Amino acid sequence: MKIYMTVGRGDGPTPLAAFDNAMYDARVGNYNLIHLSSVIPPYNTIERAPFVGEPKDYGDRLYVVLASQTQTEPGKWAWAGLAWTQEPTTLRGLFVEQHGFSEEEVRRNLDLTIKSLMNRRPYDYGPIQMEVAGVECKGEPVCVMVVAAYKSLGWH
């Protein structure tokens, strides 16, 4: 199975509208997001590409690991990111998510967190990878998100 790594940015008249616009920009706006924690099941590959669903999937559940940050103060930034690592053979792995108001803060916290998770598990993980994104507030509230989208599932 593929896990899709995508980024979304949005603005709007309220923080929630900015969040929704960021979801739509990340191409997950027509799903009900179900947040997962940090474990990547074996034999999954990470693809840096938008999740592509079908129009019939409107309102379906979408399983995600999500990092998002909103900013309402003009001139300030919002940052979000995911880090991950996988075993080279089984592809089992870990995700961690962080958000903040500077790129350096998010990258540092991602690195510290993923290394902590790796150290407590008895597996031989591969290199650490990251996807980090930011957006500047220029007036209206903004939101940035990094999404690892696993799979959608209908309600019936």
Residue-wise pLDDT for 34-58, tens only, equals 999 989 999 999 999 988 887 788 9
Residues with Cβ < 8 Å from 107, sequence gap 6 or more? 81, 130, 132
Q: Which segments in the chain show pLDDT lower than 70? A: none
Tell me what pLDDT residue 55 has: 77
Residue 86 confidence (pLDDT): 98
For residue 38, which of 120, 101, 114 has the smallest C-alpha distance?
A: 114
Task: Please give the pLDDT value at position 109.
Answer: 98
Strands in 32-35's sheet, in edge-to-edge order, are 32-35, 61-71, 142-153, 2-11, 45-47
Measured between alpha carbons, how far is 77 from 97 in angstroms, rounded to an integer? Answer: 17
Q: Given this model, what pLDDT does residue 53 score?
A: 82
| CA atoms of 65 and 95, how far apart (whole Å) | 8
pLDDT at 82: 98
- Domains, the chain, in order of start with CATH, read 2-153 (3.50.20.10)
- In angstroms, the CA 151 to CA 70 distance is 25
User: What integer pLDDT is reported at residue 4 of this predicted model?
Assistant: 97
Predicted local distance difference test score (pLDDT) of residue 87: 97
- The tokens of 78 are what? 């919002």
- Model's pTM, two decimal places? 0.94
- CA distances to 15, 56, 134, 137, 139 from 73, rounded to whole Å, are 11, 38, 14, 6, 7
